[in-house]
Chains A and B, each alone.
Chain A
Amino acid sequence: MIEEATEQSVRETYLNKEQGILSWLLTTDHKRIGILYTISITFFFFLGGFFALLMRLELIDPRNWLVSAETYNKLFTMHGIIMVWFFLIPSIPNTLGNFVLPMALGAKDLAFPKLNLASWYVFMLGAAVTIFALFRGGVDTGWTFYTPFSTTYSTTYVTAATVGVFINGFSSIMTGLNFIATVHRMRAPGLTWYKLPIFVWSHYATSIIFVLATPVLATTLLMVAVERIFQVGIFDPRLGGDPVLFQHMFWFYSHPAVYIMVLPAMAVVSEIIPAFSRKPLFGYKAVAYSSIAIATIGFLVWGHHMFVAGISAYSAMSFSILSYFVAVPSAIKVFNWTATVYRGAVSWDTPMLYAIGFVGLFTIGGMTGLFLAALGLDVHLTDTYFVIAHFHYIMVGGTVMAYLGGVHYWWPKISGKLYPEGLARLSAVTIFLGFNLTFFPQFVLGYLGMPRRYAAYPEEFQFLNILSTAGASILGVGYVMPLFYLLWSWKYGKEAGPNPWRATGLEWQTSSPPPKHNFEETPIITTSLPYPYEEMKEELGLVQTR
């Protein structure tokens, strides 16, 4: 008896094969690096969230009652910088992508395991420089670093912050290169492109953006630093530069960056919905190609951030029509996800709650994007809270919901344990409600005309701001809950077994937690379709009852 138990508990996994802090810091295992990233970005999520909380508290009252205007400006700047570059961009690709992508391909690891580890160190170095800027007094330019304010007028630690983000960019590029090489070279025998899960397709599209867009950000930030330090005229008209040029360059990266944030979210949701409907994704090829279409057209819409910045009417019209083009593949995805649920064998498990929440909130975020792409409406709505609400519906309602859904979905694989289902559902519902209460009133505020980045505001905006702050406190509680119950379950949770959801992905065909090299033997793919429920039903123990 005793012998048996010991034998079971010493099954070698990636978690216990090597031990000690160094075995983590020097690991080249994609799963462990995924966990290193998860720990880092969780820290940044709560740090950025703390800044958001202070902002929401400040905005309870129309006057500056809690912090000064200067401090408020630093709060929204640091909130933006940390959330965009140190949470959202790495959130899904570097954590779940890192952990799952090689397994979804039947591979032992990513193509370049050491590059993968290097990307984490580069990420942490960028983070350290940014945190340094924060502790020296912060930055007050907004995450967008608009010139000439950032290059000539701001007296805060702009250079340090741009250097931090500049370094961070290299980790994105490394991850992108690694994913592209891995998808091309490391697929298991028989795993052809049209059998790849959408998770892989979407990460592949994301990686293309990582590699093509990030260098533009790096150059732009470098130019900001150069103009700031050496007074070379690039963006400041007093030195002979053009401030609008900065906006073109910045948004050439930062709009595709939105798709860096949302494509991986779509990747996760495209796994969860089939898994909890127990049927193949509807319109697989349409969904796969819509990821590629989003990545491609996404490069051509940057000017829609600049409709009132003094660009010509005809370039504004071009960017407007291209922005509507990019909405089409997003709409295709929403319809296909919805059709997947139809006639499924659906459950309300936590990951599915998050995925359905994602579809709803992403739809609202996407549709309000249609308002902003309409030139005549954008004139009124841009730079107001309508925009704030819109992109939080995409990035928080979309990406964060999908991230949490993905964490719950793959948690049994990552930890080998089941999380407590009741608590998890409660937190998913709390987050959904809190989110809507926080951000829906901001649409109304935006149409009323409340400009963004205001530390104080006219009294007529107060009621909606109070609603928003109330929602934010609910949202905060919702976000803290998973932190505790997931950690608790890591130690005390029930054993999950290899495939608790009876899903079809290759990652579910190995034990939980997986061995160091993922599979005892390289899987050979004999099924003919992606999400092959029909072909695998005996293996999964499923029956067609209807």
Chain B
Amino acid sequence: MKTALKFWPDSASSVSGQVNFFFVLMVVLCTSIAVAIAFFLIYSTLRYHRKHDNEMGRPTRYRIPVEVAWTVIPFFFFMGMFAWGSKLYFDIERPPDNAIKMYAIGQQWMWELQHPEGPREINELHIPVGRPVQLSLISQDVIHSFFVPAFRTKQDVLPGRYTTTWFKATVPGKYHLFCAEYCGAKHSGMIGWIYAMDPQDYQRWLTEGAAEGSFSSQGEKFFHQFGCANCHHFERQGRAPYLKDLYGRRVEIEGGQTVVADENYIRESILNPNAKIVYGFQPNVMPNFTGQLTEDQVLALISYVKALGPEPGSQQPSSSGTAPKEYGQEKGIAGPGATSISGSHPQER
């Protein structure tokens, strides 16, 4: 493959322009100040260069206002950078409501990417241009990081907990996907490609690849295969909590707390059911699935639970992306990076 010399990255997402603008602004501002300091410093060493070996410098009178000025002025500049950077961060991190939900599993040393419609890809991800895509990320082993330079997004991929990233591609093309968190021997080989396609091409690509049925229907198969359906049947009085319309809802648990049923909650309830017992149910009824399921099986089950809308057979979960915030705050760990940002709004640019 022949590649030209590159000094500037591709800019192919809805946020990349904003990042570029802020970056260039920072470069211009910092360069001007650095050049001014360097000029003054070098000018002083030349202008006041020692002419005799016994020459002494002239003491400069200390002026408090000068000291205050070069403390306060940079401070205000810094606060401006802080505010701008934070605003940009929220734009980069907060997924819009209408995003296509996909899943990514990182493992030493490959990316497994799952479309809701069914197709699964290794080290490649096809996405449509112009539609936001939201990825729930999890690692099978160590920490990885999902980095697409052309989109200016990066999110660490943790074992044991879902994190989220999203992007809206704006320019069709082929872009690098890198693992940005050192993950062992073949870290530098854990790379792939994102293919941003015209929506029609993407639809064609999807229909060609969708052989196994949608991801949630795969989840439904596991739901029966692992015996979940024996207890979690869809009548109100079961031995196990009712799962329809569960996703995104507030659940009261034993001990008086409530949690929001987001992806991390459902994952925990599958793998370690006794961690949080729904109010009115008994502990030690459901077997522990830790080590019994692979990460993609867990994700398929979650996708199935999400698809269990209020009406039987409904494929669209009710408004996703709502509320899980409280769960995150309670744990003190989740954030826009975790699956749990609330109050998101569509971002149209």
Q: Which residues of A contact B (CB under 8 A)?
A: 69-70, 73, 140, 142, 146, 148-149, 152-154, 236-238, 242-244, 277-280, 282-283, 286, 307-317, 320-321, 324-325, 327-328, 331-332, 334-336, 338-348, 352, 356, 359-360, 363-364, 367-368, 370-371, 373-380, 382-384, 444, 447-449, 451-461, 463-464, 502, 533-534, 537, 540-546
Contact = CB atoms under 8 A, between A and B. Distances in A.
Contact of B159 (A243, A338, A546): A243
B176 interface: yes
Contact of B55 (A311, A449, A543): A543
29 contacts: A69-B189, A146-B142, A146-B182, A148-B143, A236-B159, A242-B333, A244-B333, A312-B334, A313-B90, A313-B341, A315-B335, A317-B89, A331-B74, A343-B57, A345-B48, A346-B48, A363-B37, A364-B34, A367-B34, A376-B18, A379-B93, A383-B181, A449-B9, A451-B147, A455-B188, A460-B3, A537-B56, A543-B52, A543-B55
Contacts of B9: 447-449
A374 B60 CA distance: 36
A534 B328 CA distance: 62
Contact of B75 (A70, A328, A339, A546): A328
Question: Which applies to chain B's interface (DSSP): helix, strand, loop or mixed?
Answer: mixed
B211 interface: no
Contact of A237 (B62, B88, B150, B160): B160
Interface in B136-180: 141-143, 145, 147, 149-150, 152-156, 158-161, 163, 176, 178-180
Interface residues of B, number: 98
A286 B5 CA distance: 47
A544 B60 contact: no
Contact of A310 (B6, B89, B153, B161): B161
Given A346-B49, A382-B154, A320 B86 contact: yes
Contact of A341 (B48, B182, B338): B48
B18 to A, nearest CB: 8
Nearest to A320: B82
Contact of B155 (A308, A317, A352): A308
A544 B18 CA distance: 55
Contacts of B341: 313
B33 A367 contact: yes
A345 B154 contact: no
Contact of A376 (B38, B55, B56, B89): B89
Interface of B: 1, 3-9, 18-19, 22-23, 26, 30, 33-34, 37-38, 40-42, 44-45, 48-52, 54-60, 62, 66-67, 70-71, 74-75, 78-79, 81-82, 84-93, 108, 141-143, 145, 147, 149-150, 152-156, 158-161, 163, 176, 178-189, 191, 328-329, 332-338, 341
A376 B184 contact: no
Given A140-B184, A142-B182, A370-B26, 19 more contacts: A73-B185, A149-B184, A243-B159, A309-B337, A311-B337, A312-B329, A313-B90, A314-B335, A328-B78, A331-B74, A342-B40, A356-B45, A363-B34, A370-B30, A376-B22, A378-B85, A449-B178, A460-B5, A533-B56
A542 B82 CA distance: 48
Contacts of B30: 367-368, 370-371
A280 B51 CA distance: 19
